[in-house]
Structure 1
């Protein structure tokens, strides 16, 4: 996302750039509404708080359909209500057959999630890593 562009300009760009003729995403204003920020799409992205920027990043996922979402610390800078919103967006994506791979330090509040806990690196003491 470019700080100088408005929210709608950023989302319009990503919708166009990631266009998928086989599966359309949501219109930009609908995606902004889905993340609870429809009233601020005229503002430059750089004016938004960290939590608002994160929510707009979720809207980016909605404007151009992708079957697999890869998320890195998706709950960073989010309050409790935004955490719940993210869980709802992920659940809706999964209900449509989507897959989510997320690296996170905290639970995402999802049902039927599978975890891979990284607790250390096997082989460090045996010269495996050089």
Structure 2
């Protein structure tokens, strides 16, 4: 995301949403809305359907029932969401720079430049290193850099703080705060509290048994 670039007003709405894996209904009858500037943390035990809900919101899984609507940007315009899964989707034989360059070309380089995004996530000094040599935390940072090179208002994140150290958690907090301040939406499946500077911007949706 480029500095001070605000998003159009947007609201993500789900009504009567149900999701399943195989024959198992994981969640049913979910009703929620997340306006621009707000974050929703999906909490619950393993198997409760957090990832399935993210994939459903991303349009990668058809809901068993219910509807999902994005009120705001023209549906005929540029893509409006990023889905960052639990796996980092890194090509190990490409360099750190080449990996992010690939994603910028695929998703559209509408945000930070590749070098600027790598600097932002603390990987600028190792841009020429093959991604296969990255630690788990560095791999997560590289995945997060994809959010910065392409300007999209809705971030769907699966365990965004997994494998990160305390400095990485702080980085996540800053990136989330800036995205929300620009009017973006964040929905994240997480076992941890989202590190938001303004906790009033966030709320929790619990799936399955209480966690």
TM range, smaller chain: 0.7 to 0.9
Matches within 5 A, 1:74-113: 74-110=160-196, 111=199, 112-113=201-202
Q: Contact 2:157/2:186 (CA < 8 Å) preserved in 1?
A: yes
* Corresponding residue number in structure 2 for 1:68: 154
Paired with 1:109 and 1:64, the residues of 2 have a C-alpha distance of 22
Aligned to 1:44: 130
For the aligned residues, what is the CA RMSD?
1.4
| Gaps in structure 1 of 5+ consecutive residues | 122-130
- Secondary structure class of the residue paired with 2:142: helix
**Alignment match, 1:125:** none
Q: Which has the higher contact order (CA 8 A, sep 6+)?
A: 2
Q: Note the residue ranges of structure 2 that are not aligned, 5 or more in a row.
A: 1-89
Report the Cα distance in structure 2 between the residues aligned to 1:48 and 1:31, rounded to whole angstroms. Answer: 17
Corresponding residue number in structure 2 for 1:34 = 120
Equivalent residue for 2:140, pick from 31, 47, 54 = 54
SS at match of 1:65: coil
Deviation at 1:120, TM superposition (A): 2.8
Partner residue, 1:116: 205
**Candidates 91, 105, 124, aligned match of 1:16:** 105
Query: How many angstroms apart in 2 are the aligned matches of 1:92 and 1:34?
Result: 13
- SS of 2:205's equivalent in the other structure is coil
Aligned residues: 118
* Displaced runs of 4 or more, over 3 A: none
Q: Deviations over 1:29-63 (max 9, x none)?
A: 10011111110110111110000000111111101
Q: Which has the higher strand share?
A: 2
Q: What is the TM-score with the length of structure 1 in the denominator? A: 0.86
